[in-house]
Amino acid sequence: MTDYVSTTPGLFPLPDWAKDDLSDLKGHQKGDLISGDEDEEITAAYDEAREEVIGIQGEAGLDRVVEGQLRWDDMLAHPLAVHDAVETRGIVRYYDNNNFYREPVVQDDLAFSGDVASELESAAELAGGDALQAVLPGPYSLADLATDEHYGDEADFLAAIADFLAGEVEAFPTHETLFLLEPSLVENAPEDGVDERASEAIDTVASATDADVVVQPYWGALEEKVYAHLLDADIDAVGFDFVANQEDNVYNLQEYGATDAVSLGLADGQNTLVEDPEAIRDRVDWVYDQIPVTEFETVYLTTNTETFYLPYGKFEEKLAVLAEAADLAEVKAA
């Protein structure tokens, strides 16, 4: 019997009150962004916001609770942007959208940081008995977003990023699931040879936890060879962005099969239109109808992207829709 799990890829929008308070506390300049040593007032504001978004996930009935990554000024680049071995420089466009991050330039060995683990420890306390999900950038995407001025070799740099992330994961509190966000696998697909190394790097991070590991690419579908190599990695589920691209994702599933579990991005993480839970459940049926598989061990129901882009009220509504859609799918499957 399939287990339907409602969840998100994290990276939530800040509550409206927190945006106002933190704007006053942090300012608007590059030097005012999070560096890992913020003062007590800023820390308290983020603590309160974290408690709020964890409470909202519990009220919505999501099966996995994430920390929310509210401190991540630099989106996926955050783990490097706050690292002592990294200098942040100019502002860079975050893929093909209107968000920006500070260019992280690696200048020394990427030793253990513990920044994300500390956030997750706080989240674990707030989540109580709810199942916790950790979220990190995947090693390929993090290496793709960064500049290397220390390792001097593309393969060595990717391996160093993977080792760094694995070290961070080893410090995490108990978690049920680890989502590795890998938009660069779609947006800047690795070439021959690099695609295999990207999967090996994911293997390195996945091996650092006993939790189920989900690799979530988005903004389209993976190229065939990239997908095939990803299936060789020791992971539990691959994510599919069925909002941005249905045809190519179905093709990959039909031609190359899938892991025993899958993550289906069926709700739009960037559009304010709130989906109907029944419609999302029907989309699950549609996916099954397209592929020669009658059952997965686990199906994660999620937004196709992080929900950072949504107004806070719409974000809350999307969480409730995902939880209800998973319940409907579970009932129907039974």
pLDDT tens readout for residues 256-265? 999 999 999 9
pLDDT tens by residue, 99-125: 899 999 999 999 999 999 999 999 999
**Alpha-carbon distance values, 52 to 16, 72, 74, 320 (Å):** 11, 16, 21, 15
Q: Is the pLDDT of residue 243 over 60?
A: yes
- Please report where in the chains the tokens 């899958």 appear, as a residue: 262
> Is the dihedral angle over the CA atoms 325, 312, 244, 80 positive or is it negative?
negative
**Reported pTM:** 0.96
Q: Could you tell me how many residues make up the chain? A: 334
Q: Is the pLDDT of residue 228 over 60?
A: yes
Structure tokens at 255: 């031609």
Task: Lowest mean pLDDT of 130-139, 149-158, 192-201, 284-293, name the range.
Answer: 284-293
DSSP 212-275: EEEEE--SS---HHHHHHHHHSS-SEEEEETTT-SHHHHHHHHHH---SEEEEEEE-SS--PPP
The pLDDT of residue 97 is: 83
The pLDDT of residue 293 is: 80
Q: Report how far residue 333's alpha carbon sits from residue 4's, in angstroms, rounded to the nearest whole number.
A: 9
The pLDDT of residue 26 is: 82
Region 72-95: what's the mean pLDDT?
A: 94
Task: Lowest mean pLDDT of 219-228, 288-297, 302-311, 314-323, name the range.
Answer: 288-297
Q: Which helix (H) or strand (E) holds 194?
A: helix 194-206
Secondary structure in 3-state letters for 266-284:
EECCCCCCCCCHHHHHHHH
Tell me how far the alpha carbon of residue 202 is from its chain's centroid: 14
Q: Is the pLDDT of residue 185 over 90?
A: yes
The CATH class of the 3-333 domain is alpha beta
The pLDDT of residue 30 is: 56
Q: Is the pLDDT of residue 135 over 70?
A: yes
The pLDDT of residue 31 is: 60
Task: Provide the pLDDT confidence category of residue 292 given band limits of 50, 70 and 90.
Answer: confident
Task: Return the amino acid letter for 303.
Answer: T
pLDDT tens by residue, 311-333: 999 999 999 999 999 999 877 66
Q: Is the pLDDT of residue 334 over 70?
A: no
The pLDDT of residue 29 is: 61
* Domain extents in the chain: 3-333
Tell me the pLDDT of the chain averaged across its residues.
Answer: 95
DSSP 15-63: PHHHHHHHHHHH-SSGGGS--S---HHHHHHHHHHHHHHHHHHHHHT-S
The pLDDT of residue 210 is: 98
Report the candidate in 286, 283, 276, 288 with the shortest Cα–Cα distance to residue 317: 276
